[in-house]
Amino acid sequence: MENAVAVVGLGYIGLPTAAVLAAHGVRVIGVDVDERIVAAVNGGKVPHAEPDLELVVSGAVSTGLLTAQTEMVHADVYVIAVPTPFLADKSADLSYIDAAVDAIAPQLVGDELLILESTSPPRTTEHMAARVLAARPDLTADPADGRPVVHFAHCPERVLPGKIMTELVSNDRIIGGLTPEAATRARDLYAVFCKGELLLTDATTAEMSKLVENSFRDVNIAFANELSLICDKLGIDVWELIDLANHHPRVNILQPGPGVGGHCIAVDPWFIVEAAPEQARLIRTAREVNDGKPAYVADKVVAAVDGIETPRIAALGLAFKPDIDDLRESPAIEVVELLAERLPHARIEAVEPHVHELPARLAKLPNVTLRTWDEAVAGADVVALLVDHTQFKEADRASLNGATVIDARGAWR
């Protein structure tokens, strides 16, 4: 497929990127191994909720500029937007990137540009290039001998779920190339739709920039979460304390919660720790504080039902942040898991208005069910507010009927 961009991975970032490119006149082929996602996109539908995404996808499909398929194609540019989770030891799992690269390599003829958008540890773009050239020794990164050249760049996404379609266009982009030419060519692609500043650097610095941005936020959230632990011990309302402290003109403490979720903040700091374990001491500690918060919230719920033979617990929210359906790395799910394991005789009724079925991690637990607000809170012994969805904040709390409330978000103060 000539004069086209192939977007590999049609998830939370890949599909919006493909749709926005197509909406700006670029011929885009989306490639994904999930036949369900491919069918949805070709039908002008989207597999997950994101404001305005379906409108843009359906428009791009109707013009013929966006199509999706499961087989890799030849394209002038490949945008790789596949998952980069971490393994049990917190090291990065690059298997999805490797699989994408292995599928792309046979398609190359020379002069293509491969852009890695997946958030990755430092030097992953170099790893990607080395894997391509190992598979294709007829290609080289050195044009001096006259053979075809393949270009490699990294351009991390920097968007907020719920605002992706706006921020893809308005946010500044960091673009790092393994060569200056690769960075320039990547910049030219993003300039098609991006109104923010396009900042060029090398690939490793671009990779690190995304990790640093999310680690900065993680460290600051950890400060708030650690304050919540201290305040519980001292009998202080942490939200009142933070509100008072934030009246200082140079203080802006974030809000505590049951942990940190999402694919970015909960994952990216570990990539820095993996790259420089002896130096990343503060970043590691912040991760440990935030990773420990779900167990702390579960402890409070367990204590609240002590002495009740068959307790009923309403767990409000499963998403990793308010008013979205994204469950990735959600601390609320971990809280529910811990409660199900520690209280096998309890009835745990989860309320998540943005999904229609329990995630696989919870669906296998016999004492966890998905319920509506009315079903869950009626007769509940404990109501645990884990996600401050607008529906929960605006609900009539008189319906809680005197249940013990564990408010992990401070939304009902």
Q: Are 326 and 351 in contact (CB under 8 A)?
A: no
| Residue length of the chain | 413
Q: Tell me the three state secondary structure of residue 122.
A: coil
Find out whether 261 and 331 touch, Cβ atoms under 8 Å.
yes
Give the Cα separation of 121 and 92 in Å (integer).
7
Q: Which residues pair with 349 in a beta bridge?
A: 314, 369
Q: How far is residue 128's CA from residue 102's CA, in Å, rounded to a whole number?
A: 10
Q: Residues 155, 77: contact at Cβ < 8 Å?
A: no
* Closest among 229, 223, 255, 260 to 242, alpha carbons compared: 255
Type of residue found at 171: N
Which residue numbers are catalytic? 210, 264
Residues 206 and 188: their CA atoms lie apart, in Å, by 17
**What φ, ψ does residue 225 adopt, rounded to 5°?**
-65, -40
123-161 exposure pattern, b = at least 16 Cβ within 10 A, e = fewer: ebbebbbebbbeebeebbbeeeeeeebbbbbbbbbbbeb
Shortest CA distance to 321 belongs to which of 54, 102, 7, 12? 12
CA–CA distance from 279 to each of 273, 276, 282, 285 (Å)?
8, 6, 8, 12
Structure tokens at 346: 């309890």
| Token couple for 171 | 């946010």
Token pair for residue 73? 């194609």
Q: Rounded to whole angstroms, how far apart are CA atoms 315 and 355?
A: 14
- Phi/psi-derived region of residue 52, left when phi > 0, alpha when psi is between -120 and 50, beta in every other case: left
Phi, psi of 289 (to 5 degrees): -60, -50
